[in-house]
């Protein structure tokens, strides 16, 4: 083969990239694929109960759980519990996220603040959620304030750790480049530090939102008369496993929808990224 032929071959894109791109699933295909595993498990358990291979007393079949969800939704009780839980999570997430970003930025940028605050915060981060319940009830009573405060605590720590860690891991060379170009502190923060820490901060916010849904269950143990956590406790007290599983499914759906909404709202902030995931 001539040298000209060799040069022509080297400029041709690898053939394997075309099938890979063609094989990518669209958004609808990915959504359907995500439902495949729970659907297979649900159908398998339904068939096992219907054919007498399992009793389904402690773990009811999906048909019973669906009927319970439908009954709760038709009576309006489900929407009351969902609204109460969402409001508590939203308020707790807002307070916890703002505090976590502020304190994380403070300890990440100021060595004195890091040495002063970080050891205590890392120790408090290890305290279980239920350990805060009696203290918050003693301080704040049994109304909505302690519930929101407990959720805010759960959101605060992952956001704080994520922001402080992101700032600490910024490449020193990027900062030096900004100083070479004589950027002001405000311009350095806006053009170099903010883009560098933003992806990790958004991941920390997603983690904090997930923990907010975890902490709301503990929060709704504090004398709540409505909320999905209350629905769980009510099902446990009256031995209604179908209601417990219906509440768990409602938690899962709400958590997924909230996470998807957060991702959609923050996606424009990282549109500039050229990540490996886009080419896989």
Distances in Å between the Cα of 245 and the Cα atoms of 68, 174, 266 are: 9, 50, 31
Q: Are 231 and 247 in contact (CB under 8 A)?
A: yes
Overall residue count recorded for the chain in this entry: 280
CATH of 76-270, one of 3.30.310.50, 1.10.3720.10, 3.30.360.10, 3.40.50.2300: 1.10.3720.10
Distances in Å between the Cα of 235 and the Cα atoms of 64, 88, 272 are: 14, 21, 48
C-alpha to C-alpha distance for 77 and 70, rounded to whole angstroms: 10
- pLDDT by residue (tens digit) across 63-76? 888 888 888 898 88
In the prediction, which pLDDT does 185 show? 66
In the prediction, which pLDDT does 53 show? 74
In the prediction, which pLDDT does 7 show? 45
Q: What is the rounded radius of gyration, in angstroms, for the C-alpha atoms of the chain?
A: 25
Q: Cβ neighbours of residue 72 under 8 Å, at least 6 residues apart?
A: 78, 81, 231, 243, 246
- pLDDT by residue (tens digit) across 157-195? 999 999 888 888 777 777 677 777 666 767 766 677 777
Helix (H/G/I), strand (E/B), else coil: 225: coil
Q: Which helix (H) or strand (E) holds 268?
A: none
In the prediction, which pLDDT does 27 show? 60
Token digits of residue 178: 């900004």
List per-block mean pLDDT (blocks of 10 residues) for the chain, which spans 280 residues. 45 46 57 77 78 75 83 88 91 94 87 88 85 82 84 91 85 71 69 78 90 86 79 83 88 89 82 57
Domain map of the chain by residue range?
Answer: 76-270
Q: Cβ neighbours of residue 79 under 8 Å, at least 6 residues apart?
A: 73
pTM as predicted: 0.76
């Amino acid at each position: 083969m001539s040298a000209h032929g060799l040069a022509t071959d080297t400029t041709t894109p690898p053939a394997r990239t075309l099938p890979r791109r063609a094989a990518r699933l669209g958004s609808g295909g990915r959504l359907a694929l995500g439902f495949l595993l729970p659907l297979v498990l649900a159908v398998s358990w339904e068939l096992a109960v219907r054919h007498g291979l399992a009793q389904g007393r402690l773990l009811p079949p999906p048909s019973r759980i669906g009927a319970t969800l439908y009954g709760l939704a038709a009576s309006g009780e489900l929407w009351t519990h969902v609204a109460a839980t969402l409001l508590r999570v939203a308020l707790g997430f807002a307070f916890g996220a703002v505090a976590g970003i502020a304190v994380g930025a403070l300890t990440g940028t100021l060595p004195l603040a890091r040495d002063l605050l970080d050891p205590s915060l890392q120790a408090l981060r290890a305290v279980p959620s239920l350990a805060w319940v009696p203290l918050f009830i003693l301080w704040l009573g049994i109304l909505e304030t302690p519930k929101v405060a407990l959720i805010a605590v759960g959101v605060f720590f992952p956001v704080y750790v994520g922001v402080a860690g992101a700032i600490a891991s910024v490449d020193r060379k990027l900062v030096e480049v900004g100083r070479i170009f004589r950027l002001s502190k405000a311009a350095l923060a806006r053009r170099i530090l903010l883009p560098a820490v933003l992806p990790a901060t958004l991941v920390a916010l997603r983690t904090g939102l997930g923990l907010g849904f975890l902490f709301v269950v503990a929060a709704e143990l504090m004398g709540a008369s409505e909320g999905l956590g209350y629905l769980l406790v009510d099902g446990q007290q009256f031995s209604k496993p179908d209601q417990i599983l219906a509440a768990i499914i409602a938690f899962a759906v709400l958590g997924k929808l909230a996470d998807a909404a957060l991702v959609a709202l923050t996606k424009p902030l990282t549109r500039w990224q050229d990540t490996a995931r886009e080419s896989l």
